Amino acid sequence: DLEHSYRTHQSLLEGSADLLGALMGREQDSNALYQVPFSPMLPVHQLPRTVMQPPYLELLIGAGENSGNGRELAANLLAARLLEMKAAGEITQWQDVVLLFRASTAFSFYEIALEEAGIPYVTVAGSGFYDRPEIRDLLNMLKALADPWDDLAMVGMLRSPAIGMSDPGITRLRWLNPTGGVLPLSHALSKDLNILEISDQKAAARARKLIDSLTPLVGRVPVADLLERLVATTFYRAILAGGEARGWRNLDKLLQDAAASGIISVHAYLEYLQRIRVVGAREGEAPGEAEAALQLMTIHKAKGLEFPVVVLADSGRSDRNFPSPWVLLPGMGAAFKPDRLEYTPLAMRYLKKLDADMDAAEKNRLIYVAMTRAVDKLIINGHFSFSREKYSCNGWLKEFLTVLALDADTLVNDNPQQPIILPGGQSLLVQIQTEKQPFMYLEPVSSTVMAGSVSTDLIVSLLAQSVVPVSSETPALLQNKERAPQSIVGKLLHIAVQSWRFPRNESEKQFIYRAALQYGLVNSKAREYAVEKVLLYLRRLQQHPLYQEINSADERHHEVPYGVEDQPDDDIGRLDILYRRGDTWKIVDFKTDRIKSLQEIDPTRQQRYHLQLERYARAVQDQLGVTPQAFICYLDVNNRIEVVAVSRIV
């Protein structure tokens, strides 16, 4: 019975054997001490257990200009393919699909693609999220506020870009005690700091200001509120604006998770996060009520498990080999090469050879475990990078191509339309993607002016104080329902506007439902009300000329954070939409206030909105050197949209 596979059907088993046999070898190599040759198994099942269409082996590749872009394209292609399989009935529940990785470092590329596709997922062994620099910085600051005597957390806070103290400055701060010995960093911040460099003195002042302003809130407000104030006080969104977009996503996710936890005690919240890290699971988006979620996990976590659809994700991951003058093998000994020695000692070469053999054998065992988890279909997903005038790849993907006698550059140029026939007669479907594709329900972002779009002159004339009639009929779903807080409705709307998503069916609404759950709307009636209200606002917006103006912009940015320090009052904000048509930049800020007419808006609130837009405009002017036009878009003025120009921009 050990020779029989009760898991995988015949076609997939034979196709996998062709690849594994070539990678692992079928005969024992006397020179490879740790090699375990591949031994094929006999199938018990002749056909797939699900309605799965051949080929049962697929190779999906994203070809980008660099590793990051290639990974993004690979994840995008995979998410699109999974949606196709779901629509065709090959995937009945998302819990039937697993993405397996050698390491968790590439999780974020796939999490972003799955979120954009609206595919619910759960990341297993995803503690890497909490090791991201932006998350680690915020948690260190949170720890330092809750326990100022935690010097390790205080060092993390001081070194973060929010404070920006140098390592020598932190060391000097630690030894400020005039009587000798070290000082707790929180205590040292209140001492005379003239010994520090000017830049470090300013950093210390920022740290003191942060601690003094937020420490009184610890344990008195929910952790989510404390984190929000921490982000605002440190201008952290603006700090992240200089890096990858996933930094913003990670920040938003941390805030949403904190809000969903409802925890007030910082210590209880940190213990809660520690339990999550130990268990090794976090939800990407809350699974839909009708079905569970796709899973992301490392290969080690998948041992002993099986799934109808297995994706060997990020197979182009390169091995990181850091040169070291030391080699240490448990049970074998250690070897060392002095810096000035011109040759490598024999012991060093021997141990390095053994280490390489052990590493190769472990990689083979991992890939065997990964590929044999599949019941009905195996998808190999990876990326190419473009360098030195051609495409190339690394890792397992490179080994697969070598086995198949394929060249990365040739594959991209030819992009084979027909499946490749493996030595055993089974087929391998190959797909190459060089540009990111929008998913079926997303509005594509246009980089050029669309034919027939609304002219700039027309939109300017509309925006003096325009009113565009939209059906005032209240949907039946919004009647006789338990209402959700309007503030939550506004947050959900901004999530949709941020990704520029306008759902058209139940499947496409799921991201709003999940966000509503994360914001604490556990009451189904209140949640349904909030989602339908957001959809109503989105439909109104699509019927307004402003939508066409924004959608056909030459350049468009959503939810743009900014912060200006060293003012009497720190200026912090987030622009809903900043876009450009020709040489003209425009800002639009969306408001979900329920009002009967603009004349009934409280003057104090109206003035606050106008001052807010003026600050936004000044921030854009400081960065771009041009004065933008600024508008407020009221989405619920007697069941209509009204757009108001903010003219007093200086």
Residue 105 shares a structural domain with residue 137? no
Residue 115 shares a structural domain with residue 264? no
Asked, for residue 595, whether it belongs to a domain, the answer is: yes
Residue 466 shares a structural domain with residue 578? yes
Nearest to 203 by CA among 231, 240, 164, 236: 164
What angle, rounded to 10 degrees, do the helices at 266-279 and 133-146 form?
140
| Cβ-based neighbours of 54, under 8 Å, separated by 6 or more | 11, 427
The CATH number of the domain where 210 resides is what?
A: 1.10.486.10
The CATH number of the domain where 411 resides is what?
A: 3.40.50.300
Asked, for residue 273, whether it belongs to a domain, the answer is: yes
Query: Rounded to an integer, what distance in angstroms lies between the CA atom of residue 644 and that of residue 467?
Result: 9
Q: Where does the pLDDT of residue 292 fall: very low under 50, low under 70, confident under 90, or very high at 90 and above?
A: low
Q: Give how far the C-alpha of residue 178 lies from the chain's centroid of Cα atoms, to the nearest Å.
A: 47
Nearest to 349 by CA among 357, 549, 545: 357
pLDDT above 60: residue 286: no
- 307 neighbors 375 (Cβ within 8 angstroms): yes
The tens digit of pLDDT for each residue in 126-156 reads 556 777 788 889 999 999 999 988 999 999 9
Q: How far apart are the first and last CA of the chain?
A: 81
Give the per-residue pLDDT at 628.
92
Asked, for residue 332, whether it belongs to a domain, the answer is: no
84 vs 564, residue with greater confidence:
84
Q: Where does the pLDDT of residue 578 fall: very low under 50, low under 70, confident under 90, or very high at 90 and above?
A: very high
| Cβ-based neighbours of 439, under 8 Å, separated by 6 or more | 79, 80, 83, 116, 117, 118
Say which amino acid occupies 579: Y
Q: Is the pTM of this model over 0.85?
A: no
Residue 595 shares a structural domain with residue 501? no
Handedness of CA 502, 508, 514, 520 (dihedral sign): positive
Residue 450 shares a structural domain with residue 571? yes
Residue 138 shares a structural domain with residue 212? yes
Nearest to 645 by CA among 596, 598, 603, 597: 598
500 vs 441, residue with greater confidence:
500
Asked, for residue 325, whether it belongs to a domain, the answer is: no
Residue 108 shares a structural domain with residue 246? no
Residue 489 shares a structural domain with residue 612? no
| Domains identified in the chain, total number | 4
Q: Which of 540, 555, 589 is the last residue of a domain?
A: 540
Q: Which of 522, 540, 558 is the last residue of a domain?
A: 540
Query: Rounded to an integer, what distance in angstroms lies between the CA atom of residue 558 and that of residue 245?
Result: 11
Contacts of the segment 610-614: beta carbons below 8 A, 24+ positions apart: 610/646, 610/648, 612/573, 613/587, 613/589, 613/646, 613/649, 614/646, 614/648, 614/649, 614/650
Residue whose pair of structure tokens reads 């596709």 in the numeric block: 117
The CATH number of the domain where 641 resides is what?
A: 3.90.320.10
Cβ-based neighbour number of residue 401 at 10 Å: 21
Which structural domain, as residue segments, surrounds residue 83? Answer: 4-47+54-125+288-317+376-433
Query: Rounded to an integer, what distance in angstroms lies between the CA atom of residue 631 and that of residue 612?
Result: 11
Residue 15 shares a structural domain with residue 98? yes
Residue 10 shares a structural domain with residue 32? yes
Query: Rounded to an integer, what distance in angstroms lies between the CA atom of residue 418 and that of residue 409?
Result: 18
Residue 94 shares a structural domain with residue 186? no
- 336 neighbors 344 (Cβ within 8 angstroms): no
Q: Where does the pLDDT of residue 125 fall: very low under 50, low under 70, confident under 90, or very high at 90 and above?
A: low
Asked, for residue 323, whether it belongs to a domain, the answer is: no
Q: Where does the pLDDT of residue 246 fall: very low under 50, low under 70, confident under 90, or very high at 90 and above?
A: low
Residue 16 shares a structural domain with residue 104? yes
Asked, for residue 558, whether it belongs to a domain, the answer is: yes
Q: Where does the pLDDT of residue 396 fall: very low under 50, low under 70, confident under 90, or very high at 90 and above?
A: very high
Mean of pLDDT values over 525-554: 90
Q: Where does the pLDDT of residue 563 fall: very low under 50, low under 70, confident under 90, or very high at 90 and above?
A: low
DSSP-assigned states of every residue in 362-393: HHHHHHHHHHTTEEEEEEEEEEEEEETTEEE-
Asked, for residue 351, whether it belongs to a domain, the answer is: no
Asked, for residue 328, whether it belongs to a domain, the answer is: no
Phi/psi for 61 (5° steps) reads -130, 135
pLDDT above 80: residue 442: no
Q: List the Cα angle 393/395/399 in 5-degree steps.
A: 85
- 60 neighbors 78 (Cβ within 8 angstroms): yes
Cβ-based neighbour number of residue 15 at 10 Å: 24
